[in-house]
Structure 1
Amino acid sequence: MSLGFRQLFPRGRSVVIGMIHLRALPGTPRNRKSIGEISEIACKEANMYAESGIDGLIIENMHDIPYLHKYHIGPEVTASMARVCRDVRSMYPTMPLGVQILAGANKEALAVAKATELNFIRAEGFVFSHIADEGLMHACAGELLRYRRTIEAEHISILTDIKKKHSAHSITSDVSIEETAHGAEFFLSDGLILTGSATGQQADVEQLKGVKSKVNLPVLIGSGITKHNVNDYSAADGFIVGSYFKKNGHWNEELDTDRIKRFMDEVCI
């Protein structure tokens, strides 16, 4: 069985998970750095987060735009993610660490997590199909959980986006977010993630309340959280924060320690 969310994050307050947005990996259009340089930057950011009292981290290939559909992810991406995840894990052997591989490469993320002893993955397209930037994304819960069983990785939690950002949901417009959440719970998700319509955009507070009333899973907010609105989401079990922790609050900027510390001071009150 996967490690429960409260076992993984035992603090008695809303959990804060910081994003490490890796520089563009080898083979992608914006790649300008070696994998060693990319890993060095990631480890530096992990240290900045750790010194600010963060609860956990997710390592993600955010700069690999434009993203490939999950069926076309190359082995160089999976290998590069494994290298960086291993290096960060070696620095922080007990910190809760997760990985996401864009776009929708959930099996690859699970393989990386297994190989590098991470604790969880963030998965897209777990239940119900949607149209993403990269094209049609079909649900993967059945395949993904069977793969997790096959590689003996059931201790790794799968936190799942529902009605995710950067996507059109017209083909499931008759399925509410509460019904989607229930579907993810029924299909054995370990936790749910709510987002706004795009990176850095706020999630709907009323949707959070609705989802929390329908499921017994932990529910995290996965975009748009800032020092100024975090208290609006007091019902959430945790926050995944990337953009706000960067200079000027933009995901493409450098990590800003002062912004992290101010945010952590706010949620620790």
Structure 2
Amino acid sequence: MAPRISLSDRFDSDRPVIGMLHLPALPGAPDSSGDRDAIRERALEDARRLESGGVDAILVENFGDAPFYPADVPAHVVADMTALASAVRRAVDVTLGINVLRNDADSALSIAAAVDADFIRVNVHVGTAATDQGVLEGQAHDTARLRDRIAPAVAILADVHVKHATPVGTPSLERVARETVDRGKADGVIVSGSGTGSKTDRGDIERAATELAAQDSHARPPVFVGSGVTEDTVATYFDAGADGVIVGTALKEDGETTNPVSTDRVEAVVAAARDP
């Protein structure tokens, strides 16, 4: 059950911090200003602040586009995200990831291939989840094959019991984690709380890490924390068995998700993550 792609060589730290780059609403979304220049400048300034603060990677996400398309986003979203991710790729020198909300893994892979990104995030990779976008079904069978065709070096990080969703049926977290990497061919898993900024249960991290280690103790796929990471909690997540963290809200001015990135907050979280 070893992962297809090792993530250990993608980060400069053995306790990597991935900073969220929440894009403002893109043109066509209800809350968009339609000003592409302003959107680009905001994205680049956030990226520079994340890099300056010391993150190991940046994850570009169309966070402002609510209400989200359930699966396939329109071509104009892919075009805008590709242009923005390409600009970020040129502006900073850190590992880069792409997430296309709500669950468009094909577009994420396509953007990643075009801009030379390193990984993608997939919210529902295997199984089925009831969400505010309706019922989402994992498309691992398509995603894994498309990755092989157009972006074989791009890693897949997939959520387990993703936030803002309820699993259909009663699959245990351990079972979903195992099947995400074993049958879904993801390279790592993400465990999060109930929503954006919500605390992730330490026990969930422990269970996912233990389950994956039991399946393949030689090369356990990495477990990332996907929400609720702050300066005060980051060390406890690593102690629970996490291999990396994804941080958004805690890095923003005044701790507000939609605010610009605060370099001081980034530095504080990174410093706490580095201190065992």
User: Is TM (by shorter chain) over 0.5?
Assistant: yes
Question: 1:2: how far off?
Answer: 6.0
Q: How many residue pairs align between the two structures?
A: 263
* 1:7-156 equivalence runs, <5 A: 7-12=9-14, 14-71=15-72, 73-92=73-92, 94-151=93-150, 153-156=151-154
CA contact (8 A) 1:178 1:210 kept: yes
Q: Counterpart in 2 of 1:163?
A: 161
CA distance in 1, matches of 2:30, 2:76: 13
CA contact (8 A) 2:123 2:158 kept: yes
Q: Counterpart in 1 of 2:190?
A: 193
Q: Indicate whether 1:179 and 2:172 are aligned.
A: no
Question: 1:255: how far off?
Answer: 1.5
Q: Counterpart in 1 of 2:206?
A: 209
CA distance in 2, matches of 1:147, 1:54: 29
Q: CA RMSD in A?
A: 1.3
CA contact (8 A) 1:2 1:155 kept: no
* 1:213-228 equivalence runs, <5 A: 213-215=210-212, 216-228=220-232
Deviations 1:184-222 (A, max 9, x none): 111211110000000000111111111101112100001
Question: 1:250: how far off?
Answer: 2.0
CA distance in 2, matches of 1:24, 1:2: 34
Question: 1:91: how far off?
Answer: 1.6
Question: 1:3: how far off?
Answer: 4.5
CA distance in 2, matches of 1:156, 1:36: 29
Question: 1:10: how far off?
Answer: 4.0
The answer for unaligned runs of 5 or more in structure 2 is: 213-219
SS where residue 8 of structure 2 aligns?
helix
Q: Counterpart in 2 of 1:267?
A: 273
Q: Counterpart in 2 of 1:248?
A: 254
SS where residue 5 of structure 1 aligns?
coil
Query: Aligned letter for 1:254?
Result: P
CA distance in 2, matches of 1:247, 1:19: 13
Query: Aligned letter for 1:180?
Result: V
Query: Aligned letter for 1:49?
Result: L
CA contact (8 A) 2:4 2:185 kept: no
CA distance in 2, matches of 1:79, 1:85: 10
CA contact (8 A) 1:2 1:154 kept: no
CA contact (8 A) 2:69 2:102 kept: yes
CA contact (8 A) 2:17 2:57 kept: yes
CA contact (8 A) 1:200 1:250 kept: no
Q: Counterpart in 1 of 2:217?
A: none
CA contact (8 A) 2:46 2:260 kept: no
TM-score (norm 1): 0.94
SS where residue 51 of structure 2 aligns?
helix
CA contact (8 A) 1:193 1:221 kept: yes
* Matching residue within 233, 236, 242 for 2:242: 236
CA distance in 2, matches of 1:219, 1:257: 26
CA distance in 2, matches of 1:172, 1:134: 18
Deviations 1:239-266 (A, max 9, x none): 1000001122221222212111111221
SS where residue 54 of structure 2 aligns?
coil
CA contact (8 A) 2:22 2:60 kept: yes
CA distance in 2, matches of 1:267, 1:208: 16
CA contact (8 A) 1:21 1:63 kept: yes
SS where residue 185 of structure 2 aligns?
coil
